[in-house]
Chain A
Amino acid sequence: MGIKNIVVSVAGGVVSLLTAKYAVYLAQQLDAKLTAVYVVDEKALGDLLKSKIFVEVEAQGYESDLEEQGRRFLERVRRMAEQKGVAFEPVLTRGVVHDEVVETIKQLNADMLVMGELKEAVSRKEIFYDEGERIFRESPCTVVVVKDYEKVEMLYGSI
């Protein structure tokens, strides 16, 4: 029993990096395995193709760039986890972001999901469709939403 399997949802960027640091800290403290999941947002690319803003070759270019960005980011998190002695597994997948994150949690039977702070929403409609909000709502396990990034740096630095 206990929390032995933690998933962190990352999308690249500073907030994701800090979220990953908090997840590494938690995993180390709880002696849990950490899985970081990065999803190539195929829905956003598909929508831009449909609305004719993207041409096919352009969408393909973005898709491979996103995949490469995800690979590099996961590698960075792997190094962070290794430095702190945390067992780590990267998951790079593609599709609808919230679907893929929730599916990963189910497949791994994760005990906890760590995710970055939700963006400020201005309408109920926006809340309903936001990928972060949907991950938060649809996750079958406990969700930790990371805030106070200065404290995160301190915690991460303390281990």
Chain B
Amino acid sequence: MKGNGFFVNPPVRWSWSRITKKWKCFTGQYKHQSKEKSMKISDYLKEHACQMNLSAQNKEEAIREIAGSLNSGGEINEQEAFIRDILERESLGSTGIGHGVAIPHSRTDSVDGFLIGFGKSSSGVDFSALDGEPVHLIFLMGANPQELNLYLRLLAELSKLLMDAAFRRELMAAEKSSDIIALFQKFES
């Protein structure tokens, strides 16, 4: 029965996409991806996961708000566990890296692959950032521990993009979720 975990030991909470994938594996319908996984943020960031006007006043509220939008897309298996993992990482040191940017992140069993959400706050959120300034652009990232290499490369890609002041300016000026994704597509090409 090896490889047939769907019937032998089903986990308590599975997303529909995961159940479908397991079923396809079981029935032999699942095809391997023919390419290495994408290293572009724009391939992972979805419109529903972009909060263009965060109401959060502090770090935890901001993380919860963005996690909520990710959860609405069914991308998180267990929202509270996901938030707990993110906050646990924050307890090691703030991910507010300066220039009004924060990248709260964690490897977590609460997601199947890799996910990213975005939140923008016009008034700014106190993130205990390294430069002491409020944070306006927040990228919430999580990855399953099985996807460590992909996760590290995407984190590096995001950090590289955010070093560009023009990119940050355009993110701040963006009004719609679709603009955010379009900006990633522009700057990643």
Chain A: residues with CB nearer than 8 A to chain B? Answer: 11-15, 18, 41, 44-45, 47-48, 51-53, 55, 57-58, 62, 65-66, 69, 116-120, 122-123, 132, 147-150
Contacts and interface: CB of A to CB of B under 8 A. Distances in A.
23 contacts: A12-B148, A13-B37, A13-B150, A15-B32, A15-B33, A15-B36, A15-B37, A18-B32, A48-B155, A52-B98, A52-B130, A53-B97, A53-B159, A55-B93, A58-B89, A65-B145, A66-B149, A69-B146, A117-B36, A119-B35, A120-B38, A123-B189, A132-B36
A15 B33 CA distance: 8
Contacts of A52: 97-98, 130
Contacts of B107: 62, 65
Given A48-B156, A117-B36, A55 B92 contact: yes
B36 A47 contact: no
Q: Size band of the B side of the interface?
A: 20 to 34
B64 interface: no
Contacts of A150: 31-32
B36 A122 contact: no
Interface of B: 31-40, 89, 92-93, 95, 97-98, 103, 105, 107, 130, 145-150, 152-153, 155-156, 159, 163, 188-189
A132 B149 CA distance: 13
Contacts, number: 81
Contacts of B152: 41, 44-45, 48, 62
Find the residue from A13, A48, A53 having the highest chain B CB count within 10 A.
Answer: A53
Contact of A44 (B37, B40, B92, B153): B153
A150 B40 CA distance: 26
A24 B161 CA distance: 39
Nearest to A15: B36
A58 B92 contact: yes
Contact of B34 (A11, A48, A55, A147): A147
B93 A66 contact: no
